[in-house]
Amino acid sequence: MSTRVDPNLLIDLQDYGAVGAEKCFNCGTCTAMCPLTSDEHPFPRNMIRLAQVGAKEQLLASTDPWLCYYCGDCASTCPKEAEPGETMMALRRWLTAQYDPTGLSAKLYTSETAVIKTIVRIGLIVLVLFIGYHALTGFHNIVTNSVQLNTFAPVMLVWALVLLHGSMLFYRMIAGVFKMSRHVLAPVTMGNKVPLRIYLETLPVYITAFATQRRWRDCHGDDEEKHDDGRWFKHFLLVTGYVTMLVLILGFLWWFQTDAFYPLWHPQRWLGYYATIVLIYTSSEILIGRWRKTEQLHRFSQPTDWLFPTFILTGAVTGIFVHIFRYAGWAWPTYIIYVIHVMAMVAMLDTEVGVGKWAHLFYRPLAMYLEAIKAKVREEQLVPDFAPTGTD
């Protein structure tokens, strides 16, 4: 592995939210207190040291930042108040930017102006598309004596555009996944190909980590005094609500966006209600927590930390208002709120696929998956003299 260093890395990480990393003198208290650390992954200490010396290649090859779930124990016990948890958070942002081939993540993480411009630009594009469509149709598709949402916004046309947009974002995310995988596996494989069999055998690790978010529950280990399933459960609710809404929109929009009034017991309504209620509850709690700063993980916030919960809350609230106005038969309020809803959701996807929780949603379980692959390669001795990670 390359030993080149970047003396400006620690300064650059400050733009990504690192706070106090220069104070750290590597005493190891943070690692001793962390319930998720291990001999193979002695974070946060090892990560802070690599950041201090500017060892970019070693940081890129490490999964440690993604294995941290920021319980706050490291920060509350640090004798120098070096905020190790914030450095781990900053490293996750920095790594996300390194994985992103478009460079958008770096801009959004380091510039509030870029965030605002991106959201405004995407929102205006969506608005222009709506206006342009109705201008081309002579505004005949705007029915005002009743609510005809699928006439105002033809579901198959909207769905086609959603799938096109989604495929572009999926490519961006997958490109990041492959780049992360290459960096992490390179020190172990040393240029040798990993058999497809190993990727398939270890795949359940990714699926389990993604579906259960179990590492949140492991964050306090077996310490019953500190063990709190509440955070895991709230995070689990957020993920299930968000994934439910994504599946409904990407896979079943033709069924979900309808002018038909389904009975209360219909699964379409209950899936929508579940996702909406869960997203309003969890996003509101996140925003309130960041505002009050009572928990360690909310003491410091970067602008991008506010994006995901704000978008989620906006999307859920506007979505429920579209539902209410449609049932009330109010045509113009339904159409206007629907346009605002779509503007917010498209802006969220374009920003969050590059930064924030979308990245975490993929990269956190991917880190555990890649570690399982590395362990399998070593176990079977497929690489005769594999290189150590060198992260301590």
pLDDT for 35-89, tens place per residue? 888 888 999 999 999 999 999 999 999 999 999 988 888 998 999 999 999 999 9
pLDDT for 164-208, tens place per residue? 988 888 888 888 999 999 999 998 887 788 899 999 999 999 999
How many Cα atoms occupy the beta-carbon half-sphere of 330 within 13 Å? Answer: 11
Question: If you ran DSSP here, which 8-state letter would residue 134 be given?
Answer: H
For residue 29, give the H/E element and its range: helix 29-33
Report which of 95, 73, 46, 109 is spatially closest to residue 370, judged by C-alpha positions.
Answer: 95
* b (16+ CB within 10 A) / e for 48-58: bbbbbebbbbb
The domains of the chain are located at 9-99, 104-371
Instruction: Look up the pTM and report it.
Output: 0.88
pLDDT for 326-385, tens place per residue? 999 999 999 999 999 999 989 888 887 766 667 778 899 999 999 999 999 988 876 554
Backbone torsions φ then ψ of 26, nearest 5 degrees: 60, 45
User: DSSP of 228-284, one letter per residue?
Assistant: -HHHHHHHHHHHHHHHHHHHHHHHHHHHHS-SS---TT-HHHHHHHHHHHHHHHHHH
Q: Is 148 helix (H, G, I), strand (E, B) or coil?
A: coil
3-state helix, strand, coil in the chain (%, to 5): 70, 0, 30
pLDDT for 75-123, tens place per residue? 989 999 999 999 999 999 999 999 988 888 899 899 999 989 999 999 9
Distances (CA, A) of 152 to 99, 290, 386: 39, 38, 60
**pLDDT tier, 160 (very low <50, low <70, confident <90, very high otherwise):** very high
Rounded CA separation 67/36 (Å):
8
Q: Report the CATH superfamily, name and number, of domain 9-99.
A: Alpha-helical ferredoxin (1.10.1060.10)
Rounded CA separation 239/345 (Å):
16
